[in-house]
């Protein structure tokens, strides 16, 4: 089982994915869940993470290919080995983030180029998530949360218009394969959002229901 959480910065994704990791272990058993994230979710990947999130890259294409390189290593070293063992992999961001942030957020990106870049994961042979949960929130609300946080990375500082395009990009990606997406309103309080996520996962994966031994 491969589950991914996605969303724009400030949507509460990091908080929810950590809670979800514990919840999944309660359902599947200790040692049955791998909690990871991108960029930098593999040994040695922290250098790539620092380069990307620290603003060390000056072009959208540089960011895109840095994320793709990071993802290839992440899959080879962490995600694929865990899936082959029958474990549940919970990932904080995956390929949809790269498409939404580096490709579909660019108003000058041609349709042909966008479609080609979206297909690269298939060309490379990267595993597809069984479920991608999008924590959807308005950029204005997200900006308020980021301001309250008082710190962030190079992506947090981008303007609201950019995050509106990223949000639209996520909607566009969802339309490509709606059967594997689950959209959650992330504007509510933490407990309500978490309840919506877990309820949705229980519907999709009956084995996650409390007391279900099947």
Q: For residue range 126-169, list pLDDT tens digits in order.
A: 999 999 999 999 988 887 777 776 655 555 556 788 889 999 99
Give residue 107's pLDDT band: very low, low, confident or very high (50, 70, 90): confident
pLDDT, tens digit, 9 for 90 and up, residues 77-86: 999 999 999 9
CA 167 to chain centre: 13
Q: Average the pLDDT over 120-127 and give the result.
A: 93
Give residue 211's pLDDT band: very low, low, confident or very high (50, 70, 90): low
Q: What is the 3-state secondary structure (H, E, C) of the chain?
A: CEEEEECCCCCCHHHHHHHHHHHHHHHHCCCCEEEEECCCCCCCCHHHHHHHHCCCCCCHHHHHHHHHHHHHHHHHHHHHHHHHCCCEEEEECCHHHHHHHHHCCCCCCCHHHHHHHHCHHHHHCCCCCCEEEEEECCHHHHHHHHHHHCCCCCCCCCCHHHHHHHHHHHHHHHHHCHHHEEEEECCCCHHHHHHHHHHHHHHHCHHHCCCCCC
8 Å CB contact between 52 and 66:
yes
CA 69 to chain centre: 16
**pLDDT at residue 161, as a whole number:** 86
**Per-residue pLDDT for 64 more than 80?**
yes
**Per-residue pLDDT for 89 more than 90?**
yes
Hey, where are the domains in the chain?
2-36+76-208
Q: Residue 210: what are its φ and ψ, rounded to 5°?
A: -60, 130
Which of the listed ranges 69-73, 106-110, 113-117, 139-143 does the model predict with the highest average pLDDT? 69-73
Predicted TM-score (pTM) of the model is 0.89
User: Which fold would CATH assign to domain 2-36+76-208?
Assistant: Rossmann fold (3.40.50)
Give residue 50's pLDDT band: very low, low, confident or very high (50, 70, 90): confident
Q: Average the pLDDT over 88-103 and give the result.
A: 94
Only one residue has tokens 């359902």, namely 27
8 Å CB contact between 70 and 38:
yes
**Per-residue pLDDT for 182 more than 90?**
yes
**pLDDT at residue 155, as a whole number:** 55
8 Å CB contact between 146 and 156:
yes
**Per-residue pLDDT for 120 more than 80?**
yes
In order of 12, 38, 74, 170, 202, the CA distances from 46 in angstroms are: 22, 10, 11, 26, 33
């Amino acid at each position: 089982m491969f589950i991914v959480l996605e969303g724009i910065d400030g949507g509460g994704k990091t908080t929810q994915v950590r809670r979800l990791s514990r919840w999944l272990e309660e359902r599947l058993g200790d040692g049955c869940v791998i909690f990871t994230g991108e960029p930098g979710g593999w040994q040695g990947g922290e250098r790539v993470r620092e380069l990307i999130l620290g603003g060390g890259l000056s072009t959208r294409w540089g960011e895109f290919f840095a994320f793709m390189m990071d993802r290839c290593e992440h899959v080879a070293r962490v995600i694929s080995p865990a899936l082959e063992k029958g474990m549940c992999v919970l990932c904080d961001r995956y390929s949809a983030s790269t498409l939404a942030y580096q490709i579909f957020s660019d108003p000058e990106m041609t349709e042909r180029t966008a479609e080609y870049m979206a297909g690269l994961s298939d060309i490379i042979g990267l595993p597809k998530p069984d479920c991608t949960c999008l924590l959807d929130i308005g950029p204005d609300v997200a900006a308020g949360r980021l301001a309250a946080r008082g710190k962030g990375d190079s992506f947090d500082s981008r303007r609201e218009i950019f995050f509106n395009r990223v949000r639209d990009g996520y909607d566009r990606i969802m339309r490509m394969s709606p059967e594997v997406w689950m959209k959650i309103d992330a504007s509510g309080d933490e407990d309500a959002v978490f309840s919506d996520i877990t309820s949705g996962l229980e519907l999709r994966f009956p084995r996650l229901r409390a007391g279900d031994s099947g």
